[in-house]
Chains A and B, each alone.
Chain A
Amino acid sequence: MTALVFRKLGAMSRLWRLVAVLGGLLIALALPWLIYPPVAMDIVAWALFAVALDLLLGFTGLLSFGHAAFWGTAAYAAGTIAIKTGAPFPVAVAGAALVAMVLAVPIALLAVRRTGIYFAMVTLAFAQMVYYLANQWSSLTGGENGLQGIPKNLFGLDLSDPFYFYYAGLPIALIGLLIAWRVVHSPFGRVLVAIRENPARSRSLGFPVDRYKVMIFVISAGLSGLAGGLYAISHGFASLQEVYWTTSGKVVIMTVLGGIGTLWGSVIGAALIVQVEDYVATSGIHLGPLNITGPGLITGLIFVGVVLLFRRGVWGTIAHLVRSRRRGVPDVEPHLSGTPSVAEREPAVAPKS
């Protein structure tokens, strides 16, 4: 009988998932009708970026605070490829993703030797190196002027209207999201969650934890690169802002705001932040006598509010409520992998001296 109940629940959750996917697709298709099309494109690019980060943060328990390195490098790479070769923009974006993955390999190899806050610091340090490089190497990146005049080539089609470009760019982001979804729902994804939950135990089951971390780091960087390349092509412009640490911070905020370890949450977090920033920037709200022009401040306040009230983030909270209503799920949350390993606990055992 319980088997029957579970089968019914399984069918229900499959139906629910189908509805969610179709609904999401519908919203994605309708978006440029509902809001300013360039903003719609921004949402889609940031959503992919946030999902890419969530693969690390939510599903593997690794907080990267240097993902701007991959987003930004890919932005420059996509721009350079498009300008120098005149290739169709999807080729430029794919090439940019590849560049981001290559850059990720050495960073990952060094970063995965650390966990928790140290991992975050190593990734941040590398991202800052990339930032200084981009700033210095102005013959390639345009330095403080940025890389300007990136064309939107696609077999002679006129994509100068952001409305049309949105529909040309959307499939790339959807492919990226599909890749992320596949990774999460694969045997590999199962191992990632195991590593997040208990790295030492995963090793004792025969999984080389560091190799898995490097793999997901490179996959995450590739998807971030896809997003960053798309963003640069969409704006026709790649700037130092793209490799700056605030970009790394912003994508972390989006992921946490939406709810880590949920994929959908990252999409919602990205949509929220991009929308709010656009609203605040265009409405010209000034906060207080210090003339703090607000996107940063307002998104910061929203972030603090959500983190304090809903620790699982927007989508995480909703999903948890739905799930716990269906059956008693224990109150456990995703967390960073950094739990002391057996080896670290061991010295606590000492004989009486």
Chain B
Amino acid sequence: MDPSNAPGGDSGAVIATTGLSKSFRGFTAVDRVDLTVSEGDVHALVGPNGAGKTTLFNLLTGFLKPSAGQIRLGGRDITGSSPERIARLGVARSFQITNLFEQLTLQQHVELALMGTTKLGHRFWVSDRVLTRFRDRAGELLDEVGLARQRNVPAGTLAYGQKRALELALALALDPAVLLLDEPTAGMGMEDVERTVELVRRIRTNRTVVLVEHNMSVVAGLADRVTVLQFGRILTEGRYDEVRNDPRVIEAYLGGESAA
């Protein structure tokens, strides 16, 4: 157990969970997790498949309600809050399973995300031409993830790696204080992985990034801290080089489920 987050928490913690648990019909996917993410860090969550990383993400973003425990966001208790409320508090996420609006164009995707930070969405009496105010910013964001040329095609026609990049653009559009990235480089080719790592490095300024990632070179290149999960529990936590040589971690990866 890592006792670094005493109740009350240190002021540098952006996300702090205490005793966070989630069970599905008797199976405990996340088990009494005390996780503290410090402000400004890139914090990686690693672990074999089924270690509970994505469940933890879904708990942090309100898509799942915890069975027990507490989640604090910058000192505010957000346990059990809805996904839309947590999003509006400045937490954006990308999804592991690509999760887009197949029929909307890339431009419309980013416009929608930009609109998500405003009150425009409820205005059913004004023309959608007001959304042109987001056009330039949407173009910049698409350019940033290398999708500027495809801005007018429906998302359904994109290749897998491009969809991942669009996920990133959507998360960025919310200009979040905390960015949760669930396997941002999964399914990407080498160049795309490098560009994504570069991108994360650029956007981490003034942000806290939590990252689920299987690609260890990505973790090594980005993460300030690494938390290793196994069977829903925190196995160990520390800097990448500390964690990498931990015999328990090696055991978890080699002796447990093979991390493909």
Contact = CB atoms under 8 A, between A and B. Distances in A.
Contacts, number: 142
Given A205-B112, A207-B116, A193 B101 contact: yes
A13 interface: no
B157 A330 contact: yes
Contacts of B63: 200, 203-204, 341-343, 346
Interface in B96-121: 97, 99-104, 108, 111-113, 115-117, 120-121
A183 interface: yes
A84 interface: no
A186 B63 CA distance: 28
Nearest to A198: B101
Given A187-B130, A194-B112, A343-B63, A332 B156 contact: yes
Interface in B27-57: 27, 29, 48-51, 54-55
Contact of A186 (B25, B88, B112, B123): B123
Interface string A172-188: 00000000001101111
B101 A207 contact: no
Interface string B75-93: 0000000111101100011
A189 interface: yes
A188 to B, nearest CB: 4
B108 A190 contact: yes
Nearest to B149: A2
Q: Is the interface of A mostly helix, strand, loop or mixed?
A: helix
A5 B100 CA distance: 27
A197 B92 CA distance: 19
Contact of B125 (A186, A200, A332): A186
Contact of B128 (A189, A332, A347): A189
A206 B88 contact: yes
Contact of B121 (A185, A201, A212, A349): A212
A203 to B, nearest CB: 4
Contacts of A219: 124
19 contacts: A183-B125, A187-B123, A188-B124, A190-B108, A190-B131, A194-B104, A203-B87, A204-B92, A208-B85, A215-B122, A215-B124, A332-B102, A332-B154, A341-B63, A342-B63, A342-B99, A346-B58, A349-B54, A351-B257
Interface of B: 24-25, 27, 29, 48-51, 54-55, 58, 61, 63-64, 82-85, 87-88, 92-93, 95, 97, 99-104, 108, 111-113, 115-117, 120-128, 130-131, 152, 154, 156-157, 170, 174, 231, 257
